[in-house]
Structure 1
């Protein structure tokens, strides 16, 4: 995540070449926030919007930005900050005011002992857990969950349907994903605790991007963390393994915002966006972002808002 300065739409679009990802990621080395620094808060009449370092989150942040600007709200953009481990402190210290997040993983970040997994229960717990000065607005129906993914060939060879089916063979298998997945509660520790699956090794790759996809395809890893709204899964013939014991909680899109900036105009604009976001819509947004022409997030966001009548 690069949060040193507001990004132009061109720069934000260039970040798309890194590939599709969803609920986490590594901090950018040229970003003051990634180095543990902060920046002065935005003016009281301005909302500084951040994003994580993957295209879906960037386009959601841009959708938020344009929807607010349409209502006369002043906006600054600081996109591509990095993982939650970087941007959450930036929210609490006022460096940024608003970011699109995902309910289940956000709750587990705040409360590592959280046990809620169902959508409404997760959201209710999250509303209580979010520390001041932050709050969350309406959750969307749109959900982007982490998933354990394997190739179709590997699934067929080993009769894999659910994550637990990996247990007998995981000792000879490598798992790939973003570095944070190795320690997050629903990552490697959660998979081991919930299903007794212990992999031979973990390979730190990218957040659901081209490195992870390539590693699955060439057999560098046999299983990986991808995201359920990533069209690469279907396009590559990958298999999402079932999670019957709910290691991965519901992950609905939700605006995480500084409560001092959440006036009625802001709430109404953002909640109107939330009401239109669907899981199928997220998949199509990601497919568009990953198209051969690599459109910038500004154009994709503008077109989506127009299509939704917003």
Structure 2
């Protein structure tokens, strides 16, 4: 059975001008040389974005690498994409789980890629020099626009295409950066013809978490951007609006890494993990983390790796 060998300690990391905290970790006997203790002299800093699912996946990456002799430092809950991209650029982190479509649009808003394969194929040319992605997984977690069952029934809304004819003001809730994204309020206007004057935006900084859920339930917003694997969608009977024009691109989970750290060992380990990670896995992991169990990302990663028995 897989067990984590990491010890944790406090450290500091500066990214995007903000002081961030990280938990760092190492494996093996500190009295031995690194290449003898771990089977490898590689060291890699694994980061996660500022939400639980990213941290769970990052823990899976970190523990899988450790199980294969790679010394790992861990920097959890760094922030949103703007922040962790700068952390990759300045070398504060080397590796982070990301989502294919949003990553592509971050660097190339004009890309016409639509399918999962097209998005993945477009990424190498879109990424800055020194960055690359490894194999994408079947697991997908994408932004999704959700309304309450009551709102859906009262207004006849089941699709983003229905919003243009909506008689009531549209109050959108989501992470602050959603307001600047191609699939944000401007996308609703450009792609689905919603009158911009009929849309207002409420920034909620919890990545579709309990604050966003609460705002949708209490009417502070009437449409909320919530990640599609979030348990609260099913738990509250929210209606996820269809996206017939594919405004929100496919979002397969994949490792984003500094090329200098993408050794054969790192590639093989992470590609093995990606081949096994599914959307159903993400839903189960998120449910255990956010539900009554409140399982930690580290424990969930250990359980997932033990269950898959990959290494």
TM-score (norm 1): 0.86
Partner of 2:98: 101
C-alpha offsets along residues 183-211 of structure 1, whole Å, 9 cap, x if unaligned? 11121221211001234310001311111
Alignment partners' CA distance in 1, 2:133 and 2:53: 19
C-alpha offsets along residues 162-182 of structure 1, whole Å, 9 cap, x if unaligned? 102112226512110000000
How far is 1:47 from its partner? 0.3
- Give the conservation status (yes or no) of the 8 Å contact 1:118–1:249: yes
Partner of 1:248: 248
Partner of 1:35: 17
Match of 2:188 among 187, 191, 195: 191
How far is 1:31 from its partner? 6.7
Alignment partners' CA distance in 1, 2:167 and 2:66: 49
> Is it true that 1:61 corresponds to 2:58 in the alignment?
yes
Q: Cα gap change, 1:7/1:120 in structure 2, threshold over 3 Å: closer, same or farther?
A: farther
- Give the conservation status (yes or no) of the 8 Å contact 2:59–2:298: yes
Work out the number of aligned pairs and report it: 284
C-alpha offsets along residues 103-130 of structure 1, whole Å, 9 cap, x if unaligned? 0000000111112121000000012221
TM-score (norm 2): 0.86
Q: Cα gap change, 1:268/1:114 in structure 2, threshold over 3 Å: closer, same or farther?
A: same
Q: Cα gap change, 1:269/1:31 in structure 2, threshold over 3 Å: closer, same or farther?
A: closer
Alignment partners' CA distance in 1, 2:155 and 2:105: 32
Partner of 1:204: 203
- Structure with max Cα Rg: 2
Range moving further from structure 2, 159-168 or 222-231: 159-168
**C-alpha RMSD over aligned residues:** 2.3
- Give the conservation status (yes or no) of the 8 Å contact 2:185–2:199: no
Matches within 5 A, 1:1-310: 8=8, 32-35=14-17, 45-169=42-166, 172-197=169-194, 198=196, 199-205=198-204, 206-310=206-310
SS at match of 1:77: strand
Alignment partners' CA distance in 2, 1:143 and 1:173: 27
Alignment partners' CA distance in 2, 1:193 and 1:7: 50
